[in-house]
A and B are shown apart, each in its own frame.
Chain A
């Protein structure tokens, strides 16, 4: 891969590591706290050796107590620090739900703007790694209903760096979701130095004329693969990487749907009440008379969890082939 000057090739986990490292280096107010983030250097080695360089005051190993991790981080944030709290796996975030939804998201409102909560909660999510019931979950739909909370789920290393920087700079709480299957699978050029990508801005990865596909996370890569396969069949599919789940980039989605007149939403999370439900409601409200086909959602089945057994995991997860089939069907409609 030819590397552009001023860039280097990183995988997703390295992009997270580099961004966190620069944030620690550039701003003494930055604190990292979570389970195993210190001595162990995070289970994916994202913060390896951070504790040696920045000390245990800024890289804090916490007990296995997610409510405390977020609760303490909220206090730090309200008093002027820039905490980055880590939930080791998104599956463990539930004890912190009250802190995130009940406290962090409402701080600015409750204090009439006197306090803000510049907090980032990072967490690896998603399946396809034989992670079974407690290491595979997608949690975005549980949180995206909440005003006051921003949610980001980037898919590419350069987006991870730009959006994580934006999340750290943001004066309000941001839930930062990292798809764990993409950690070492996805590589890409990342510009050096500090830069941000605005929260709430989607990215049109591939322009097309016959169908709009909206996705995020791991599935963006598969959707792109499927769309490229369809291009070889002479079918033109537009692929949008949502990047930010909330705020949602309504303009980019609506512009695309008004052009292609058909919409397929693909996500790994299950269908009922998922991100796709909001997108389709929005499009139905704003662009009904541009639609030439029913909006389709390709999502996980409504079952309580991703199974461990390989056939169960396969059944739960989508694939480039399944996505290509759904795209073909909708283009044909």
Chain B
């Protein structure tokens, strides 16, 4: 019996999906629940499990094509049915010649690692994965020196030693979670000629990194926002000494009790939602009909991953305590790192917080998430000598906070009021408060 597979709905508000990659081709057998294609939407990417065990009989949508939810995308001939018994053989024969004709040879004579990208990933040890992540190297581009062409930890270290440029290029090309077509194998940079100095002669051609779905979406969104929303920018300096000490006092117990780390983020988020309550225009968006002021306060948290940027949303953040925000944000960050965010985790943001200070950034000019009025950053926390009103001075923990705003929606008056309010609230938070 043939089962027709349709484009699944990945999330409540999603209306169409793109076939990112077929994991199986016509003639392949799939087990029930085995992932057989990757679908990406503008919000999320997911592997789609087969609903039945059988043989892929037809593929109706090409990789890269976008179709509405419910459109037929493939046909699986269920195993056990009369047709299926005969189906696999002819199907295999009619499969593209590149796959069909040299199958046996491939297994026997293939040079290491051309046996398959998936095989390389499957055999990647924890050490290899960790080192590859640290050095931004795509395991699939390496030629393994281990048994059966396995990429070893040493292979990764050798590739890393060959130069950061290659490594970064490889990293960007990876997009592992997004079903990217693997980049063409990177030729390992050849060693410099043993004799002689480098010469300036023919330019050496660069390499094109193919775009994956995630990279395309990020690019489109950035251009859209920057071109349509006139960005204005402002920054305040906040004395976070008291809240910093409060956090230090609570963090061990908090982690023990909840399993999540207590960072400065939830304190900041709490101050942001309180300031939004005082300045509701910051929680609005520009529409042709007028300025649409959101009632819900849904805070996006920008999370930078090695190869992508993702902004999961804490829903109704104004209803949560600092503790509640810490747990909600902790869950989302954890999911993001494990590539487990669902469409609903990413939908509905009304304002965005970007914790940009982890690597020491002191000021930044973020791009607004399209459809919002602003984005506010946390920069690095530094110890500084502050001179107070009475001319006394003291070492204090100080953090800059930067705001980009859509100048169509709000003006400097509101924005600077919002920032001043945010500063006041954070400086007032202290160890006598309740998480």
A residues at B contact (CB < 8 Å): 261, 288-293, 332-333
Contacts and interface: CB of A to CB of B under 8 A. Distances in A.
A12 B150 CA distance: 44
B125 to A, nearest CB: 5
A333 B148 CA distance: 8
A333 B147 contact: yes
A293 B153 CA distance: 9
A292 B128 contact: yes
B201 interface: no
A121 B147 CA distance: 46
B384 interface: no
A333 B127 contact: no
A265 B388 CA distance: 64
A261 B146 contact: no
B144 to A, nearest CB: 11
B275 interface: no
Contacts of B129: 289
A1 B110 CA distance: 55
B406 to A, nearest CB: 43
Nearest to B153: A292
B126 A289 contact: yes
A292 B152 CA distance: 7
A211 B298 CA distance: 52
Interface residues of B, number: 12
> In terms of DSSP, what is the predominant structure of the interface of chain A?
loop
7 contacts: A261-B127, A289-B130, A290-B130, A291-B126, A292-B152, A292-B153, A333-B150
A332 B147 contact: yes
Interface string B145-166: 0110010111000000000000
A261 B157 CA distance: 13
7 shortest A-B CB distances, which residue pairs?
A292-B153, A292-B127, A289-B130, A292-B125, A289-B126, A288-B126, A261-B127
Nearest to B148: A333
Given A289-B127, A292-B125, 13 more contacts: A261-B127, A261-B153, A288-B126, A289-B126, A289-B130, A290-B127, A290-B130, A291-B125, A292-B128, A332-B146, A332-B147, A333-B146, A333-B150
Contacts of B147: 332-333
A290 B128 CA distance: 8
Contacts of A291: 125-127
A87 to B, nearest CB: 42
Nearest to B151: A292
A171 to B, nearest CB: 33
Contacts of B152: 292, 333
> By CB atoms of chain A within 10 A, which of B127, B128, B130, B147 has the most?
B127
Contacts of A288: 126
Nearest to A330: B147
Nearest to B128: A292
A262 to B, nearest CB: 9
Contacts of A289: 126-127, 129-130
Contacts of B128: 292
B7 to A, nearest CB: 37
Contacts of B150: 333
A288 B129 CA distance: 11
Most chain B beta carbons < 10 A, residue from A290, A291, A293: A293
A290 B126 contact: yes
Contacts of B154: 292
Contacts of B126: 288-292
Interface string B105-148: 00000000000000000000111111000000000000000110
A193 to B, nearest CB: 45
A184 to B, nearest CB: 41
Nearest to A258: B127
A293 B147 CA distance: 11
A292 B126 CA distance: 6
Contacts of A332: 146-147
A289 B131 CA distance: 9
Contacts of A292: 125-128, 152-154
A293 B154 CA distance: 12
A260 to B, nearest CB: 10
Interface string B186-225: 0000000000000000000000000000000000000000
A261 B147 CA distance: 16
A293 B151 CA distance: 11
Contacts of B125: 261, 291-293
Contacts of A333: 146-147, 150, 152
A168 to B, nearest CB: 41
A326 to B, nearest CB: 14
A270 B128 CA distance: 31
